Structure 1
């Protein structure tokens, strides 16, 4: 039975992070686990209870950072934990009995890269998404319920399980992203292109609080930067051009492209990824009928 490390990035979550941790701790599980919370520059004191009551939460490790962004907070939590299986969760979920055991069990089959549960809206529990896909504008869209465990294009970052060795084999979450955006879909895309499978298990459902306002201050420029960096890393010239055209009307489009090309490692990363990958982006888009 593998040791599981649950990694929870957190920023200005109010009482939700406490609710999430207590839901996990209070839910029966046969599998050994620990929890690492990465408090990424919160200013609302949401993690103060972990600092003042450490003996109450012996399974929980708290790491404080100063705003490194969603992808790098997840990567840091992975580095500072030790489980053979990593489960990345949002800081605003509740879980059900045996959720951890079932997700870890799903990873036992060779070639499985990541597994996600169904994700229900905490305020509308019958609204459940089972993995994600993209539309023609690279916008994430929830998939309907399958009859059993199925392959999906993308495992949502709200809850995704992956074996540690696989996580590091593909390089973890994209280190060059800014603040927030595309970290979950890029990770799943990379798994697929490198030869792993991504699944959703509808037999496991967690509840997720969908907020109207995001805790990270996200600008359109940062969103575009991440989308274009993803495209430079993984897409053929035609598809890369399509993504560039999506953002060409931005006032500082030229500056963003210059920063990606000349102030980051993206071209070397592209070379390495294209050399390493087992499948190309055409194969992926055709497999999942993504019109991009």
Structure 2
């Protein structure tokens, strides 16, 4: 029968057909001669006549079916196979189809934190006060308050803009399925489980493939067997574990390796999802598979666990950015981005993203290089992915109709097994791969990173450079000019930079704690680590402290203060009170007032210039 599957030409088909007719003729002639002497062999043929005919017919049919159709006219264009393996129906998904996987239990509107309200308690017993303090110490948020709030609390009515509430989602292309990946390390029980239930109660059952909890070597007993037993009842929730603490990056890669959804959705372990959060993310990825999309992240108060709900009108959107210390931040979206967006369903293009909460096509995640697996613990991975996605042909977007709450802590409760220098190492890896010569701007602001770069102790980056080459990624100049033209680019080679040491005080000029402008400068022992003691004397003749914001020294009749720099682009100018001259005899002189900077007194101030006064003599180091 194997031979019958071969393709036969038209001539062979004719010959087989002729042979078939001859056999039939012989059978009918011989079998029909009744007066002929019976022959045992012939009798056997007669008995098997029908079987022989069936066999011959089957052979001919096999040959006919296996050969190409004989085409007399022009060849028929063969249909291309469907691009999507799923059936693609017209129209839009119905609310019934997008019903959440799990219904919430009945809610008591007067229960603690109900409908996203703040937890409030008028009287505290000594024991409760101790529990609250322990929660702050361990988790850096009010774990006591979280524990009083239902794990399955509702967040009240849908308060998103009307176009978000009314948004419909096309069946073609179909919305992809997703695996939600949540990494945790010694997380509070209530915040972790509330995150899980929030996903279950707000995600359509046809789209939510699974929830994967990745334990980054937690040591708390309640996060071991008790958690495993608890999530078994939730069916689509599973726990995978790292035996030793390797950090967020490695844990997320582990989660991605066992995920089966078409989209990977990453959440932190202290989140709550608002109405309709998932569909807008998946819809955008279905529309544009190279889009890496984040929800509009709102605040869950770390003290009261009040959920900051979206508003229907007048929302002022923010986008992600970075400063030249490679720290992520937020800023208002620029006018051109406001004009591009027609309504609230339009995504917000963002130069960088926070990296804690986002969704990405699983195939694109692998194509674009997932994470740099040589980065350790966490820190810098979000900026690295921001640069990589944009430079290699993708796009970063915030989806305003997708709202997820997050507990923002003022500090991390977790330690770094190898110390905080792992953050600098991670940042050096991203700078060496993606920033070209602009990496020097970063190194001037981070002495630890500069040392790691000089000593080349940041590990092997050859695979990442090969990835950059294979994907034909653009350079960092393109990124700055095309994706983030609003950023101020400091001098690649400033006239002077570093710490400014005073000869008389033997201390360095310092901006002080939390000085974002408007506060006087101080003198502080020189530490050589940059940070609050980093300044640049630029080609525009201003003195800048520009690690985060662009802050400039301003001459005044009182203590010298920092303020927002006025020179922010080529068509702007430096005002007189921000213009300085560094004289050959080491004075820092304001040209307009003809006064010089002095370290004498509680705060640096302007005095009459005197090269013989050691408190007016400054040296960059």
TM-score by length of 1: 0.89
Partner in structure 2 of residue 157 of structure 1: 355
Work out whether residues 136 and 291 of structure 1, in 8 Å CA contact, stay in contact via their aligned partners in 2.
no
1:25 maps to 2:25: no
1:102 maps to 2:280: yes
The 5 Å alignment of 1:51-130 reads 51-65=228-242, 66-110=244-288, 112-123=290-301, 125=308, 130=318
Distance 1:216 1:256 in 2: 29
Local SS of the residue matching 1:200: strand
Shift of 1:106: 1.1
More displaced, 19-28 or 65-74? 19-28
1:157–1:188: structure 2 CA closer, same or farther, 3 Å change rule? same
Partner in structure 2 of residue 177 of structure 1: 375
Partner in structure 1 of residue 399 of structure 2: 201
- Of 258, 262, 274, the match for 2:456: 258
1:142 maps to 2:330: yes
TM-score by length of 2: 0.43
| Gaps in structure 1 of 5+ consecutive residues | none
Partner in structure 1 of residue 487 of structure 2: 290
Work out whether residues 425 and 452 of structure 2, in 8 Å CA contact, stay in contact via their aligned partners in 1.
no
Distance 2:179 2:203 in 1: 16
More displaced, 120-129 or 109-118? 120-129
Shift of 1:79: 0.5
What is the aligned residue count?
287
The CA RMSD over aligned residues, in Å, is 2.5
Distance 1:89 1:7 in 2: 6
Shift of 1:158: 2.3
Partner in structure 2 of residue 240 of structure 1: 439
1:229 maps to 2:429: yes
| Gaps in structure 2 of 5+ consecutive residues | 1-174, 311-315, 339-343, 490-621
Local SS of the residue matching 2:424: helix
Work out whether residues 326 and 383 of structure 2, in 8 Å CA contact, stay in contact via their aligned partners in 1.
no
For residues 90-127 of structure 1, what are the alpha-carbon distances to aligned partners after superposition, in whole Å with 9 as ceiling and x for unaligned? 11100012211111001122353301111111117269
Q: Structure with the greater relative contact order (CA < 8 A, sep ≥ 6): 1 or 2?
A: 1
Local SS of the residue matching 2:286: coil
1:5 maps to 2:185: no
Larger Rg: 2
Distance 1:281 1:228 in 2: 15
Work out whether residues 6 and 88 of structure 1, in 8 Å CA contact, stay in contact via their aligned partners in 2.
yes
Partner in structure 2 of residue 36 of structure 1: 212
Work out whether residues 181 and 266 of structure 2, in 8 Å CA contact, stay in contact via their aligned partners in 1.
yes
More displaced, 158-167 or 29-38? 29-38
The 5 Å alignment of 1:208-219 reads 208-218=406-416, 219=419
